[in-house]
Amino acid sequence: MGPSRARAVLARTPALNAAQLRTLLAAAGGEPECALSPQVLRNVDLTSAARAFLAAPDESAVDADLAWLAASGAQIVLCTDTDYPPLLNEISGPPAVLYVRGSLAVLASAQLAMVGSRNPTPPGLATAREFAAWFARAGLTVTSGLAAGIDAASHEGALAGGGTTVAVLGTGLDRIYPAEHAPLAERIRLQGALVSELPPRTAPRRQHFPRRNRIISGLSLGTLVVEAARYSGSLITARLAAEAGREVFAIPGSIHSPLSRGCHQLIKDGARLVEEAADVMSELRISVSKEQLTSPANTPERAPVRAPALDKEYEMLLDALGFEPATIDILIARTHLRPESVASMLLILELDGRVAALPGGRFGRLP
């Protein structure tokens, strides 16, 4: 049986916060249908927008919501329901309602938020995938925002690790944003949950995403920032996590990379510096063997086979590349190899998955 009309009305009511919804339902004896009665509405302090909508709901919008809920299998979770995530109820200003597609049970599982740049480096993407796979195998649910870059890589890593993942959207659940992530969203629905506080047909708007971020951090025991510029939206998620008393973790990077500056600022401000997944598990006091988390042979994306040995010149080129991006000119100066040799060797190393081409004609090593 799908959600009742009264629940659909409450879920769509504008400017109705969790505290007001709790008061309204308490006055109605816990019955959503009674909450819409004029007698109850008169005795509850509501905003004028919420009161006007509850007194005369937009029936066509509610009809469309109910049709979509029935067709999609989505569920409405009110902040008073037993299925409402307990950690989310602890934050300041929790959402009054959640629309959920997928598993409700996963929302109560131990979760770790993973966020970062929408335009990460290839090593940053690889790090997000590998860490998420490790966390998934250790039993943590990976929670993120389905955005391009680190968010998507984190979801993909958790799925590849055979675990669960939650995507919190800044749109209605009938509008996947970005649209090219629709196949990923479907995989997440099958192996976790899609969540939004916004009603169906809500388009992506700039102001929705900071609000989405509070749900990402609010669902989670802690937030791990993988790569972020100094003014990244990921830092909003980290700040909200800290304000809610949750752990904040950051992976450091090159001092020359703009995408490391946000993480370095977080570490200066007290975030936990993370070098391997075991660092996060230890801070969260989740018991799991360090070997299980850090052995590349155990990652599901990789076969347990050693990478083929490289010729001496290739080893020398990788050593010269170090762990910070460099241009071909810098590598020629460091190795004294011929320019055409360096260019062809870098191409072979890129095809072999050992280096990645970066903006500005630079190359960087992959984990």
**Residues 180, 340: Cα–Cα separation, whole Å:** 38
**Helix (H, G, I), strand (E, B), or coil: what is residue 217?**
helix
Q: d(Cα 307, Cα 284) in Å, to the nearest integer?
A: 33
- Token pair 């904040």 is found at 248
**Cβ neighbours for 268, distance < 8 A, ≥ 6 positions apart:** none
Residue 309 is given by DSSP the state P
Q: Which one, of 365, 297, 288, 289, lies nearest residue 325 by Cα?
A: 365
Contact between residue 215 and residue 88 where contact means Cβ atoms under 8 Å apart: yes
CATH number for the domain formed by residue range(s) 312-365: 1.10.10.10
What is the pairing mode between strands 97-102 and 111-115?
unpaired
pLDDT tens, N- to C-terminus, the chain (367 residues): 457 999 999 999 999 999 999 999 999 999 999 999 999 999 899 999 999 999 999 999 999 999 999 999 999 999 999 999 999 999 999 999 999 999 999 999 999 999 999 999 888 999 999 999 999 999 999 999 999 999 999 999 999 999 999 999 999 999 999 999 999 999 999 999 999 999 999 999 999 999 999 999 999 999 999 999 988 889 999 999 999 999 999 999 988 889 999 999 999 999 999 999 999 998 998 766 555 444 443 444 443 334 456 788 888 888 888 777 889 999 999 888 888 888 888 888 888 888 888 878 888 888 7
> What is this structure's pTM?
0.82
Task: Tell which CATH classification among 3.40.50.620, 1.10.645.10, 3.40.50.450, 3.30.70.20 matches the domain 105-298.
Answer: 3.40.50.450
Domain boundary assignment for the chain: 1-72, 105-298, 312-365
